[in-house]
Chains A and B, each alone.
Chain A
Amino acid sequence: MKALELSGVSVYYGAVRGAEDVTLDVDEGEIVALLGANGAGKSTLLKAISGIIHPRRGSIAFFGDDLGKLSAHRRVSRGLVHVPEGRRIFTTLTIGENLELGAYGTQHSRTERAQRLEEVLGLFPLLKQHFQRLAGTLSGGEQQVLAIGRAMMSNPRVLMIDEPSLGLDPQKVDIVYDMLEEVSALGTTVLLVEQNVSLALEIASRAYVLQQGSVVLSGPSASLVGDPRLADAYLGKAGGAKD
């Protein structure tokens, strides 16, 4: 079963092209990476999938259902969750309140939500420790853990996460990636956006490489490691730049 299926998706910000004619799919249970240099269109695609922006052309299907113009908050209740770039936790709310809001979109009862909270706190003990603290006082790594924990509160079918390693020291990056593997092991499908290629290819089974809004390369991670075209995509060579 395809968890996500994009066909011919083009996204524009006014006249600025964010993504052009992107076709990709993610199987249920898979971890798929979306790679590319700054401005390649990675975040744009995640935003289009979560419904924060609507594509100008193309279609996005979630477990076989075309999402069309379904509003973003409704996609969350279907089990499609997006951890945005920069984490965007609610800094003026406590850790506990952030987590509670993670389950807002679900139709779960109060007891189900409480039970889910216990599960997530069990998965990520760090959050339990700081439960009453304002989220804004957490370190960058802790904030990323919170962002993932918050996303997991709704028990999503698909988790999309945008540059989880951004701004973290290597040790924290390991923690976050361990979390993602745990999330995946629980059966959640993961679509991962990363700048750190080797990190992403280690955890993902397949990857798509974007350049200037379009897919220029894709395939199983093993076949992409060491592919010179991958480095070119990051250095902007495939676009016909000098040297």
Chain B
Amino acid sequence: MSLLLNEIGNGIFLGAFFGLVALGYSMVYGILRLINFAHGDFYMVAAFVSFTILGAVGVGHSHNQWWTVVWVGVVVMVITGGLAMLANQLIYRPMRRAAILSLMIAAIGLSQVLENGVLVTPRWGATYLVFPVTTPPSGFSLGSNHYTWGQLVIVLVSGLLALGVYFLVGRTLLGKAMRAVSEDRIAATLMGINVDLVIAIVFFIGGALAGAAAVMTGVYYGQINYLMGFTVGLEAFTAAVLGGIGNIGGAVLGGLILGIVQSIGTGIFGAEWALVVAFGALVLMLWFRPTGLLGERVARRM
């Protein structure tokens, strides 16, 4: 029993990352019906950018190093948001009248460009890079499990960011405009909504969330690699579909469920089974509930 609780605890932690990346997937899908396969690579690039910035400013071992991580995190969020927005502006926007399948192929192409771009960049490349700062092992016990303060902070920060997005989309005028664009682009234009700007903002937010997840991954796991976006991208995509793609709450819920399922699954079968468990869960979900947990609206929209 307490073993199960431990796995759930670990799963929530893991799910926080999935959820943050899944939000970007889901928001872009919601507004463009595009599965942006490059999204995981925005996360990967963000990890490398934060590695370089942290290296350049130097974090040392002072007490202030966590403030450095925070402001670097914010800067990386802005940079990654900008990168996602740029990708939209240069690639997806000119293709707005093309079939969505063409956009998806372009997304796969962009993913390759980003991965190989990082691969050939001096000082980045193919090897694992070790982050200049990692979260300390100190923490607290819950049941028989030990959690670090770092894990707690990561879960809290992820939760706050997700809540922020939830509030933005649900309550603000901009969020209503996003939902309007998602449902009917022409009608939204007729309300005086600058549709292209709203889409750009959605890309920015999705990218920024991936950026936050990347910085936290770096400081928690301590190492990054140019292929890290591929796996996380798949897992986040799975999470988004589990929860009902296009749905904000669904992305977070899907992330948490995937995290927990994967935790329990790897607890039983071993770590190498992580992706098998994830996709197994996805297949089961699609079998019994093709729209995902909270996804009925999307099914209707399509």
Interface set of A (CB-CB < 8 Å, partner B): 50, 52, 71-74, 76-77, 81-84, 88-93, 97, 100-102, 104-106, 150, 154
Contacts and interface: CB of A to CB of B under 8 A. Distances in A.
19 contacts: A52-B186, A52-B189, A71-B194, A72-B189, A73-B189, A76-B191, A88-B184, A90-B179, A92-B179, A92-B300, A93-B183, A101-B176, A101-B177, A101-B188, A101-B191, A101-B193, A102-B191, A104-B192, A105-B191
Nearest to A113: B173
Interface of B: 173, 176-177, 179-180, 183-184, 186-195, 297, 300-301
A52 B190 contact: yes
A84 B191 CA distance: 11
Given A90-B180, A92-B301, A104 B193 contact: yes
A90 B300 CA distance: 13
Contacts of A106: 192
Nearest to A107: B192
A105 B192 contact: yes
- Binding site of B, secondary structure by majority: helix, strand, loop or mixed? helix
A41 B202 CA distance: 36
The 5 closest A-B pairs by CB, nearest first: A105-B192, A76-B192, A88-B187, A72-B189, A101-B191
A71 B7 CA distance: 54
A90 B183 CA distance: 7
Contact of A154 (B177, B179, B184, B192): B192
A93 B180 CA distance: 8
B50 to A, nearest CB: 36
Contacts of A82: 190
B173 A104 contact: yes
A74 B192 CA distance: 6
A73 B187 contact: no
Given A76-B192, A101-B191, A93 B186 contact: no
Contacts of B184: 88, 90
